[in-house]
């Protein structure tokens, strides 16, 4: 994030995405505007049910997964990656939820207490390749959300008078 030249293209980028991504993006922007943040997105998802995020070791090539249980969303993020990739992975898994990609498994969090049945894990792992359209959607949405969130953080860091003039500039 270097400044106002990066403010321009995220809305145009969002419009070029598959329709479901564009819809979710617009919906989040209508709700949160310039205060879009990961914690606001999690709050929004938690209107459905709580989100539990865990950090753990994972097989080579995997950075995260999300499982919908009856009472919670359970997200696992690979622990030995840098913070930027952790953020992108969290946004990717949240995007699967926001885009309605995942079916809910008939288990309660307390029933399984982190011991996710192996067949459910493999279900998720097998569908989780970047060749699939759903992965492309999740990654696309995560990417525009990441850019927008960083823009919001940047704007929030500026003095009001500068912020207003930049916003006027990129809304032209």
HEC sequence for 114-136: CCCCHHHHHHHHHHCCCCCHHHH
Is residue 76 a contact partner of residue 48, using CB atoms and an 8 Å limit?
no
Is residue 88 a contact partner of residue 144, using CB atoms and an 8 Å limit?
no
State which of positions 101-140 bind Zn ion (CB under 5 A). Answer: 128, 135, 138
Shortest distance in whole angstroms from residue 103 CB to Zn ion: 14
Q: Which is nearer to Zn ion, 112 or 134 (CB)?
A: 134
Q: Which is nearer to Zn ion, 24 or 138 (CB)?
A: 138
Shortest distance in whole angstroms from residue 43 CB to Zn ion: 22
Distance of CA 109 to the CA centre of its chain: 22
Shortest distance in whole angstroms from residue 84 CB to Zn ion: 17
Is residue 148 a contact partner of residue 10, using CB atoms and an 8 Å limit?
yes
Q: Which is nearer to Zn ion, 10 or 67 (CB)?
A: 67
Rule CB under 5 A: which residues touch Zn ion?
128, 135, 138
């Amino acid at each position: 994030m270097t400044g106002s030249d990066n403010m321009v293209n995220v809305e145009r980028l969002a419009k070029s995405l598959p329709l479901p991504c564009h819809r979710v993006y617009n919906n989040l922007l209508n709700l949160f505007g310039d205060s879009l943040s990961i914690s606001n997105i999690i709050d929004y998802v938690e209107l459905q049910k709580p989100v539990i995020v865990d950090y753990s070791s994972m097989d080579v090539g995997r950075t995260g997964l999300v499982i919908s249980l009856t009472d919670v969303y359970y997200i696992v993020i690979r622990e030995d990656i840098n913070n930027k990739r952790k953020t992108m992975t969290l946004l990717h898994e949240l995007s699967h939820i926001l885009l309605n990609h995942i079916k809910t498994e008939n288990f309660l969090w307390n029933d399984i207490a982190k011991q996710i049945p192996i067949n459910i894990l493999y279900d998720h792992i097998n569908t989780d390749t970047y060749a699939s359209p759903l992965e492309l959607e999740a990654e696309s949405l995560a990417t525009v959300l990441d850019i927008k969130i960083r823009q919001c953080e940047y704007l929030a860091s500026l003095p009001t008078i500068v912020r207003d003039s930049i916003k006027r500039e990129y809304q032209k």
